[in-house]
Amino acid sequence: MNIYRTTVELADNGRPFAVALVLQAEGSTPAGAGARAVIEADGRIWGTIGGGAVEAEAQRRAVEAIQSRQPVLFHFTLEGAKVSDSSPICGGRMRVLIDPAAFEDREEYAKAAEALARGERGVLITAIHFSPLAIEARWAPEPLFHPAVGDPKSETIRTALAREEPRLLALEAAPSGQMFIEPVIPQPRLLIVGGGHIGQALARQASLVGFDITVLDDRPEFTRPALFPENVHLLCGDIAKEVAAFPVAADTYIVIVTRGHQHDAAALEACIHRPAAYIGMIGSRRKVAAMRQQFIESGRATADALDRVFAPIGLDIGSVTVPEIAASIVAQLIAVRRKGRAATAAAALSRQNAH
């Protein structure tokens, strides 16, 4: 869900709503800083700030804030003493902002929504003024960071965006206020080369965790829309040519699961020297070792280049069935995205050595 687009649509429709934004999360909490939801006057919610008791409290306070037209800043503690109590016992603390006047910043939310739709990055800066509590949002695109609110330092914004981590800072223009820097990151791209059973299962599971998915196959019957979720892009054509033409950037993930080793090799050759965040190829250890030797001997790739490839693919969870194999691959995609290549590659190498 593009939560910024939802904000704009509700503002344009004249439906009363409030934005709930997690400013801080410490300890064990159901959601981290930057979690965002839109809550309507009847309590209906779009997006989430973690569910459970904290979200129920946010919904209650949002309905009240819409009626009073006053923003709210509240703390929620998940430190119940007993399992038998109704109080949450996770042990964390959350600080949540409720803004019932977010419609006034409709243009800034529209800029964020449009940037996401174009695959562009930036930050949404929320200025929080105290005494009385007042909120103002501003959009700052990458790389044209400007002093939108409170004159934030560009380096701080770049760091927050590079690490995909929100920051809460003192508001320089108003010592009693704070500034929340919220990275707005487009969905990472996932190219699935092969529309067979594993490709179909992988597309279904990867769509649930936030990838912008394209499936490529050279057989029309395996790129039929009925086989895939609605938001999946489908390509039918020569595998090597289509992979070579596919736009690849630092947030692109490529999974090669074609119907045979020749097609796998063609796809790998077309992408191995490109700056993808992840390249993975299905196959047995024997197949992978043979293909590695052929690539090195033919000069198509160096050993260092081939070391980038996750093959055999997926985390070792003992998967056997097609859905389980897809789950292992998605788990590895998440691990690379959230923990980095080095940690995941080291774990994979350790697993291979163990065998």
Domain ranges of the chain: 3-184, 189-354
Q: Of the ranges 72-86, 120-134, 229-243, which one carries the lowest mean pLDDT score?
A: 72-86
Is the pLDDT at 94 greater than 60? The verdict is yes
- pLDDT value of residue 345: 52
Measured CA to CA in angstroms, residue 260 lies from 38, 84, 194, 281, 292 at distances of 47, 55, 10, 11, 16
The number of C-alpha atoms within 13 Å of 102 and in the hemisphere containing its C-beta is 35
Q: Which of 10-19, 80-89, 170-179, 298-307 has the lowest mean pLDDT?
A: 80-89
Q: Collapsing DSSP states into helix, strand and coil, what is residue 281?
A: strand
Q: Domain 189-354 adopts which CATH fold? A: Rossmann fold (3.40.50)
Q: What average pLDDT does this structure show over 133-150?
A: 75
User: Kindly report the CA angle at 136 between 58 and 28, in degrees rounded to 5?
Assistant: 40
Phi and psi angles of residue 116, each rounded to the nearest 5 degrees, phi first: -60, -40
- pLDDT tier at 80, thresholds 50, 70, 90: low
User: How far is 146 from 275, CA to CA, in rounded Å?
Assistant: 29
Average pLDDT, integer, range 123-138: 93
Mean pLDDT of 115-136: 92
Q: Within the chain, what is the greatest distance between any pair of CA atoms?
A: 73
Distance CA 191, CA 202 (A): 11
- pLDDT score at 88: 53
More confident call, 325 vs 146: 325
Report pLDDT for 347.
46
CA atoms of 173 and 150, how far apart (whole Å):
5
Tell me how many degrees the CA angle 122-204-268 measures, rounded to the nearest 5: 75
Supply the pTM of this predicted model: 0.78
Q: What is the pLDDT of residue 263?
A: 95
Label residue 299 by pLDDT band (50, 70, 90): very high
- Among residues 326, 324, 235, 278, the alpha carbon closest in space to that of 243 is found at 235
> In which order are the strands placed within the sheet that holds 17-26?
45-47, 36-40, 17-26, 93-99, 72-77
Render pLDDT for 39-62 as a digit per residue (tens, 0 to 9): 999 999 999 999 999 999 999 999
CB-based contact 103:41 (threshold 8 Å): no
Average pLDDT over residues 59-80: 93
pLDDT of 37 over the 50 cut:
yes
136: pLDDT strictly greater than 90 = yes
